[in-house]
Structure 1
């Protein structure tokens, strides 16, 4: 049981690190958060990725949703 939990944490850290690399975010920070928190860190990552995108785009990325 403990081995499965450790394996899930390591896989989560690797996947978040890979996703952070693809999104242009700090890899070490998100890999560590994924290893420490596991799959719980994924919603935090998505939120941070959206905020970073909005900050980078500024007013040019604004769209009108009807």
Structure 2
């Protein structure tokens, strides 16, 4: 995307709606965060780095195997 300014308005609307819901029902949001955060954080903090490391390892081995032949 050459001009990211097209994303400003939709993101602003999303942030305003989420802020409004958080302000209205903070207890519910706290409970959801406790239930969901473990799964979401484990995905981004464990699974994604392991996948990237694995892809890098395979790519390195692939390049080394094809350089010798």
TM-score bracket, normalised by the shorter chain, equals 0.3 to 0.5
Give the structure with higher Rg (CA). 2
TM-score by length of 1: 0.33
Question: Higher helix share goes to which structure?
Answer: 2
Larger relative contact order (Cα-Cα within 8 Å, sequence gap ≥ 6): 1
